[in-house]
Amino acid sequence: MLTRRHLLSGAALAGAAPLLARKSNLKIGVTDWNLRLAGKVEAVELAARLGFQGVEVSLGRKVEGDKLPLDNAELQQKYLAAVKQHKIAVAGTCLDVLHVNFLKSDKLALKWIADGIPITRTLNARVMLMPSFGKGALEAKDLDYVGDALRELGPAAEKAGVLLALENTLSAKDNVKIMERSRSKAVKVYYDVGNSTNAGFSPEEEIPWLTAARIAQIHLKDKGYLGEGKIDFPAVMKRIMDLGFNGFANLETSSPKSVEEDMARNLKYVRGLMP
């Protein structure tokens, strides 16, 4: 016999159910540079053949004149034809040139971001990665400058439906400070589990703290094959799935033996962690 107490406890559990089991439509893609085909259309066919749902495309690092390598209408059409033929997506783009013109100190970086937005939109990609590493790595003193710079670019990105994704070695909290300073819903975090771990942060703690609302896209990598390094990938993937995150998580994994064999191996491992 059901008592009032049972009914109340049942109602409470029913109300909590959406929080306990958010549905995730996580898609797994791969970076074209880790396929060793950075900025080459051939990466689309290879990614599709290996079973990925998308490929993250480099916009190029070596600038020709005052244009990004992919700032070429004919080349963009080749990408669109390739993804249609092979039935996958351009998961996102990477503004590789920020490895040369640093976001934190070079005004030219802002031009490249502005130029990359329409390219990303044309390729039907929703996310443009903005890397800041090496000599261009962001520090605490750079947060306000970067946030203010992105505030100027936010409206164009919002209008195009493109997310400006921060990837760096900062903590999740410092990245959110940049987001808040930008005052733009287009500025989000590109969360790389490998970079964060190497910088001394915990993906298992930072991912749920960020929530899906603050994450534009995710990189999955570790030293060596996934599942054999120091990152607890079953726990990390559970955190990602529990968010109800519906974007792309892209493999940025190395291939010590064979690109095709190693990528297929890592993809199989990740898929095995997904319900």
Q: What is the SS3 assignment for 180?
A: helix
- If one counts the domains in the chain, the total is 1
Domain assignment present for residue 3? The answer is no
Residue 64 β-bridge partners: 67
pLDDT attached to residue 11: 38
Whether residue 160 is contained in a domain is answered as yes
Categorize the per-residue pLDDT at 19 as very low, low, confident or very high, splitting at 50, 70 and 90: very low
Q: Assign 4 a pLDDT band (cuts: 50, 70, 90).
A: very low
Whether residue 7 is contained in a domain is answered as no
Domain that holds residue 105: 22-272
Q: What is the pLDDT of residues 120-144, one digit of tens each?
A: 999 999 999 999 999 999 999 999 9
What lies within 8 Å, CB to CB, of 158 at 6+ separation is 184, 185, 186
Q: What is the β-pairing status of strands 248-251 and 187-192? A: unpaired
pTM for this model (two decimals): 0.91
In a domain, 203, yes or no: yes
β pairing state of 27-31 and 248-251 = parallel
pLDDT tens profile 222-270:
999 999 999 999 999 999 999 999 999 999 999 999 999 999 999 999 9
Mean pLDDT of the 161-183 span: 98
Percentage of the chain lying above the pLDDT 90 cut = 90
Task: Tell me if 17 is assigned to some domain.
Answer: no
| DSSP states of 204-256 | HHHHHHH-GGGEEEEEE--SSSTTSSSS-HHHHHHHHHHHT--SEEEE----S
Residue 77 lies in a domain: yes
Number of H helices, E strands in the chain: 10, 8
User: What sign does the dihedral 210-212-216-217 (CA atoms) show?
Assistant: positive
In a domain, 14, yes or no: no
- State the CATH number of the domain containing residue 35: 3.20.20.150
Q: How far is the first Cα of the chain from the last one, in angstroms, to the nearest whole number?
A: 36
Q: Please, what is the average pLDDT of the chain? A: 92
What is the b/e burial string over 42-68, where b = at least 16 CB atoms within 10 angstroms of the residue's CB? Answer: ebbbbbbebebbbbbbbbbbebeeeeb
Does residue 86 fall inside a structural domain? yes
Q: Give the pLDDT confidence of 29-68 residue by residue, as tens digits.
A: 999 999 999 999 999 999 999 999 999 999 999 998 899 9
